[in-house]
Amino acid sequence: MLQIRNVKLEDLPYLVIIENLCFIKEEAATEEAFKKRIQNIPDSFFVAEEDREIVGLINGPVIHKPYISDDLFNDLKSNPASGGHQSILGVAVATPFQKRGVASALLIHLERKAKLHNRETITLTCKKDLIGFYEKLGYMNQGVSESEHGGVIWYNMMKKIH
């Protein structure tokens, strides 16, 4: 059965493996980036486990503006107690567990936590082929993002939660 919990520092090696399975090197979060996120935003960084094995992750800081900007990948501050926009910098699921609802479960879990803290929206960027997936979960396509992360075209996706 799938369990979702807050990240712990000892999860780090598994997070790096899953991230590198799901993203090319230019897009993937580094071990150092994950370490910073674990230290600064453990309240919005979750892992999915099945039989005590980490099979997926979701993370992102709460930001003051409604769209993700590339500086977030380096400059990270602790989340405010309430308000703001819950961003998602990454959702990744280990290959054998993809297409089994893990990413959706992680997104729903993050949304519940965001509601508890009175966040205005959940905001993320995705590649064109994932727009439909996020739309099924209630996200609205806001057009092409200004992000140049990894040299890829990203789309702003947003979901109002209040």
Q: How far apart are CA 92 and CA 154, in angstroms?
A: 16
119 part of a folded domain:
yes
Residues β-bridged to residue 86: 62, 122
Digit-coded pLDDT (tens) for 59-95: 999 999 999 887 766 678 899 999 999 999 999 999 9
pLDDT for the residue 73: 65
Q: How far apart are CA 65 and CA 37, in angstroms?
A: 19
pLDDT for the residue 69: 81
CA end-to-end distance (rounded Å), the chain:
30
Show the 3-state SS of 23-65: CCCCCCCCHHHHHHHHHHCHHHEEEEEECCEEEEEEECCEECC
Total domains present in the chain: 1
Q: How far apart are CA 98 and CA 94, in angstroms?
A: 6
pLDDT for the residue 55: 98
Domain that holds residue 116: 2-124
Q: What's the average model confidence in pLDDT over 6-31?
A: 94
69 part of a folded domain:
yes
Q: What's the average model confidence in pLDDT over 134-156?
A: 93
In 3D space, the residue among 93, 75, 88 whose CA is nearest the CA of residue 14 turns out to be: 93
Q: What angle do CA 89, 155, 32 make, to 5 degrees?
A: 20
- The domain that contains 43 carries what CATH number? 3.40.630.30
Digit-coded pLDDT (tens) for 24-43: 888 899 999 999 999 999 99
CB atoms within 10 A of CB 128: 12
131 part of a folded domain:
no
Amino acid at 90: G
Digit-coded pLDDT (tens) for 92-134: 999 999 999 999 999 999 999 999 999 999 999 999 999 999 9
Residues β-bridged to residue 141: 157
